[in-house]
Structure 1
Amino acid sequence: MQNDLKTIIRFNDFVAYFGPRGIVVMAWWLGAIHAARIRKDQNSFPFLHIIGEAGVGKSFLLYYLQKLTGQTPYAYSLTRTTLAARARVVGRSGQQVIICEHEGESDEQVDWDSLKPLYSEGDLYVRSGNGPAELHAFRGALTITANQSVQCSDAVTSRMVIVNFSGDNPHATRGRPEALTDLNSEQVIPFGIKVAQSEDWIASNLETLLPRYQGQLLNKYGHGLSLRTAKNCAQMLALIDLLCTLLSISEGLRLEAVEVIHDIAFHETIPY
């Protein structure tokens, strides 16, 4: 069944186009479908921040992943919505991934800190006028896309897994996009069903793998690595393992994806 799923979603074409960073994003997406459960069990699920200049394929990547899980694409800009409007989006998102597009606007216009609750409890409280605060519960996950890394507080950055698809990245690779754009949503229904049915399997394995990977990261990178980043990266390493099991991905590709996560962890330890 695993090899059938791999063929159904044209995984080899996906890897040829997006490389190991694509595997990292797909692994995050596997967890994002069950983000509410992961936040309940582990108190957090990281934001995904995808960086890359225009034309690198950020929207293409996310559209493909939404197709795999039968989601209707939804994206918005933080500079064009009020906190109340964003809360309404959060409340009706269900288990969808919400895409926050940052298209070169000034970061000073964006209240990035307002997103912090979506990392942990997933709830936003909004007060209209003098009335009582209204609760909007978030059951989905958050992706932020931008041409360059967004300028925000360390508190927000530490809640992100940042994947850079910039063209000067030495791991950049390209295959045929037609193999993915031609993929019919009905063809990939078995993959979406399998992922939807895997909540308990994902949750239980994350519970087992998280302490091991978190300990390994902290031992390797020392005090320069924050506990929050260690947890985010450990969750990602566990999800990469689960994705590789689900699709029978080779050990070589798994290690390439793992290297991307270790690069993220190592980057935090570099003094500026």
Structure 2
Amino acid sequence: MQNELKSAIRFNNFVAYFGARGVLAMAWWMGAVHAARIRQDQNSFPFLHIVGAAGSGKTLLLNYLQKLNGQTPDSHSLAHATPAGRARTFASAGQRIVICEDHSESEQSIDWDELKPLYSVGSFVQAGNDQFQVETFKGALLITSNQPLECSDAVRSRMVVVDLSAADAHTPRVRPEAIGDLNADEASAFGIKVAQAEDWISSTIKVFLPSYQGQLMHKYGPSLNARTALNCAQMLALLDLLCSLLAIPQDVQLDARKVIHDIAFLDTIPY
């Protein structure tokens, strides 16, 4: 079954193109399907920030991931929406993954701190008809940009960053078409499997999260932000789940774990 699922989503071609950073993004995407449950259990689910220069593969990666759970491509430029418009986007998202595009070159701007509640409780205030009502965000937030975001440390600590333009980013070994023309109907086998695995995903994170948090804090010391340690621990647990689901080879697992540990290590370096 694992080999059939890997074949259906062309996993080997995906890894050949995106490497460990792609695997990390896929692990987050798997968890994002049950983000509301994970926030309920852990009081947090990290934002995913995919950053990379034009041509680095951001669009290809997102189009591929959206086929895994049958999500229709739907990106939003938050800076071009009003606060009320952004609130409507999050309120109507359901359990979908909201993809937000940052256009740093635009004259419009957004206060990224506005999004902080979506990380934890998911509750935010929506105004309308001279009334205010509290809504709950049940989805997950993914941000794409060509450059690192200009945001506060508080927002940055809520993100897991996948940098497709990093100096050590994977060099594609296959053509984009190897994953770009993935059949959505075949790929949906992944989404169906993940949708049915809510209890497995939730219970596994509960079991392994404290251990991973403790390991990270012990390894990187008090300079590691506690929120970053939590994010990385969640990603390590999700990576374990993805590896179990797809029987991912040991070398790919180790490379993906290194990316997560690099995120933790970089958090300890003063800027």
Instruction: Decide: shared fold, TM above 0.5.
Output: yes
Counterpart of 1:227?
A: 226
Q: 2:93 aligns to what SS in structure 1?
A: coil
Q: 1:99 aligns to what SS in structure 2?
A: strand
CA displacement, residues 49-76 of structure 1 (integer Å, 9 cap, x when unaligned)? 1110011111110111011101111111
Report the Cα distance in structure 2 between the residues aligned to 1:64 and 1:158, rounded to whole angstroms: 27
Q: 1:26 aligns to what SS in structure 2?
A: helix
Question: Is the CA contact (8 Å cut-off) linking 2:163 and 2:169 kept in structure 1?
Answer: no
1:124 aligns with 2:91: no
TM-score (norm 2): 0.96
Report the Cα distance in structure 2 between the residues aligned to 1:47 and 1:191, rounded to whole angstroms: 22
Question: Is the CA contact (8 Å cut-off) linking 1:107 and 1:151 kept in structure 2?
Answer: no
User: Once superposed, what is the RMSD of the aligned Cα atoms?
Assistant: 1.4
1:106 CA drift (Å): 5.6
Counterpart of 1:188?
A: 187
Identity percentage over the alignment?
59
Q: 1:103 aligns to what SS in structure 2?
A: coil
Q: 1:5 aligns to what SS in structure 2?
A: helix
1:123 CA drift (Å): 1.8
1:201-216 equivalence runs, <5 A? 201-216=200-215
5+ long unaligned stretches in structure 2 = none
Question: Is the CA contact (8 Å cut-off) linking 1:107 and 1:152 kept in structure 2?
Answer: no
1:53-202 equivalence runs, <5 A? 53-105=53-105, 109-128=109-128, 131-166=130-165, 169-174=167-172, 175-202=174-201
Report the Cα distance in structure 1 between the residues aligned to 2:94 and 2:106, rounded to whole angstroms: 30
CA displacement, residues 4-24 of structure 1 (integer Å, 9 cap, x when unaligned)? 101110000000000100000
Report the Cα distance in structure 2 between the residues aligned to 1:185 and 1:55, rounded to whole angstroms: 23
Question: Is the CA contact (8 Å cut-off) linking 2:51 and 2:162 kept in structure 1?
Answer: yes
Report the Cα distance in structure 1 between the residues aligned to 2:60 and 2:41, rounded to whole angstroms: 32
Report the Cα distance in structure 2 between the residues aligned to 1:194 and 1:128, rounded to whole angstroms: 38
Greater mean alpha carbon deviation, residues 181-190 or residues 143-152:
181-190
1:107 CA drift (Å): 8.8
1:252 CA drift (Å): 1.0
Return the letter of the residue paired with 1:141: A
CA gap of 1:108–1:233, structure 2 versus 1, over 3 A, is farther
1:172 CA drift (Å): 2.1
Report the Cα distance in structure 1 between the residues aligned to 2:164 and 2:43, rounded to whole angstroms: 29
Report the Cα distance in structure 2 between the residues aligned to 1:67 and 1:107, rounded to whole angstroms: 33
Report the Cα distance in structure 1 between the residues aligned to 2:270 and 2:156, rounded to whole angstroms: 16
TM-score (norm 1): 0.96
CA displacement, residues 232-261 of structure 1 (integer Å, 9 cap, x when unaligned)? 000000101100000000111101000000
1:250 aligns with 2:255: no
Greater mean alpha carbon deviation, residues 143-152 or residues 131-140:
131-140
1:132 CA drift (Å): 2.7
Counterpart of 1:236?
A: 235
5+ long unaligned stretches in structure 1 = none
Counterpart of 2:216?
A: 217
Report the Cα distance in structure 2 between the residues aligned to 1:197 and 1:249, rounded to whole angstroms: 20
Q: How many residues were matched structurally?
A: 270
Report the Cα distance in structure 1 between the residues aligned to 2:225 and 2:181, rounded to whole angstroms: 42
CA gap of 1:215–1:106, structure 2 versus 1, over 3 A, is farther
Q: 2:13 aligns to what SS in structure 1?
A: helix
CA displacement, residues 155-193 of structure 1 (integer Å, 9 cap, x when unaligned)? 100100011110x52232212211212211111222111
